[in-house]
Amino acid sequence: MASIVSRSFPIAAALSLLLAMSPASRAADEAPPPPAREGGTSRLEGTARIGRRTPAVGATVSVRPEGGATPIRLTTTDEKGRFRFDGLSDGAYRADFRRDGLAPVVKSGIEVRFPFRTVIEITMQAGGAPAGGGAPAPPAGVGSHTLRGVVSILGAGPAPEARVRLLRTDGSHDPRFALTGPDGSFAIDGLPGGPWRIEILGAGYLPIRTDLEIAGDVAVEARLVGQPADYLPPPLDLLPQERPVPPPGW
């Protein structure tokens, strides 16, 4: 009589053997692992008000990494006091709010984390040091630095022929000027370190004005916001714009 030999395998071992023999399993082993999820970018947005109810229209908002000098992102608040920055990487940021006639407001330690939106609300008060004023400027720096940037229009792409002006807040150097190109880019070279004020102006758009401390090359991303129909420009905007004077012999 033929004998039948019976052998038993643990269930887990049997399943592993069957999976290893299957074509699908072999294909999975040979396929490369799925790529890791790339880090995304997030949005920082909010509202600036004067007191409890009045929108702070036309306030310049500058955002930069906490403890870092660049890149700097600039925009202005709209007719409802709203502002928005897209494409921020994870990290901590500092936001600076300035408008002539209002006390500056600085908010530090703003955490941005993908994929969440970060929303902040700012209250501004009348009075205080206007943009460009305040504490005495530090001594003039040395070196030759470059300010490069791109100016765009909210919802409309690049801003060609926007006027960029840099003013030395301590009066130690002549103003510097640039016009943005067709792609909205500009560059100003040969800047000594120290305190400067940047102005970005475009016809029909709210002006961007804020202070910069230049201690090295700086990158700027600025977004212009359209003027509300009832917007009253400050007296400074009604003055004729200076033009650069070419050197003798040009």
Which regions of the chain carry the CATH code 2.60.40.1120?
Answer: 41-126, 140-228
What band does 142 get if pLDDT is binned at 50, 70 and 90?
Answer: low
Please tell me the pTM assigned to this model.
0.75
Alpha-carbon separation of residue 125 from 55, 56, 176, 210 (angstroms): 11, 10, 31, 17
* CB neighbours of residue 12 within 10 Å: 8
* Distance, CA of 168 to chain centre: 23
| pLDDT per residue as tens digits for the range 144-194 | 999 999 999 998 999 999 999 999 998 889 999 999 999 999 999 999 999
Q: Which CATH number fits domain 41-126: 2.160.10.10, 1.10.10.10, 2.60.40.1120, 3.40.50.720?
A: 2.60.40.1120
Instruction: Output DSSP code: residue 195.
Output: E
More reliable by pLDDT, 244 or 136: 244
- What is the Cα–Cα distance from 42 to 48, expressed in whole angstroms? 20
- What is the Cα–Cα distance from 45 to 47, expressed in whole angstroms? 7
Q: Which CATH number fits domain 140-228: 3.40.50.2300, 2.60.40.1120, 2.60.120.480, 1.10.10.10?
A: 2.60.40.1120
More reliable by pLDDT, 30 or 114: 114
| pLDDT per residue as tens digits for the range 2-24 | 433 333 334 444 444 444 444 44
Q: In terms of C-beta density within 10 A (0-12 exposed, 13-18 middle, 19 or more buried), how is residue 36 classed?
A: exposed
What is the CA angle 121-122-125, rounded to 5? 155
Cβ atoms of 77 and 59 closer than 8 Å: yes
